[in-house]
Structure 1
């Protein structure tokens, strides 16, 4: 039995590896791109299976935590000057 990292096993043959593992080529490529800790297990009779290692209990990978530090809905850093906000009611009588 051999245990090989998914990215190493699937190098230059994503479609064939995905088919053997029963998944789409897109999902295999995404798993590799995101750096997931997945290993292909090649049994002595040649059958493939895959195993993903995850931190316990449910800790997120550091690369994902750093990826989403920009919460600006426009998708870019806030580089515009600050606009003063004037309340519509000042609480003063007319």
Structure 2
């Protein structure tokens, strides 16, 4: 199995072919690259898949200090 960043994969084969192989448009590939998202492409035995990694939780609603009283019954 080989894993590449989307940026590296596109550098090798171009946006149009990357989009065709991943089942999306060239425009979607371009937007993903410009957004700076952490997208990776896995290639294994002729199969290709892409996945994204992002922080958990994805959005921080607010920073809240947890105190002992928060855990009191």
What 5-or-longer segments of structure 1 have no aligned partner? Answer: 61-94
What is residue 46 of structure 2 aligned with on the other side? 46
2-structure distance, mates of 1:56, 1:39? 17
Shift of 1:47: 1.2
Q: Which has the larger radius of gyration?
A: 1
The answer for the alignment partner of 1:7 in structure 2 is: 7
More strand by share: 2
TM-score by length of 2: 0.75
Matched, 1:27 2:25: no
Q: Distance in 1 between matches of 2:30 and 2:14?
A: 10
Secondary structure at 1:10's aligned position in 2?
A: helix
Which residue is 1:58 aligned to?
A: 58
Which structure has more relative contact order (CA 8 Å, sep 6+)? It is 2
Runs of 4+ with deviation above 6 angstroms:
none
Q: Pairwise CA RMSD of aligned residues?
A: 1.4
Any unmatched runs of 5+ in structure 2? Answer: 61-73
Equivalence map 1:64-79=2 (5 Å): none
Which structure's residues are more often helix, by fraction? 2
DSSP 3-state at the match of 2:41: strand
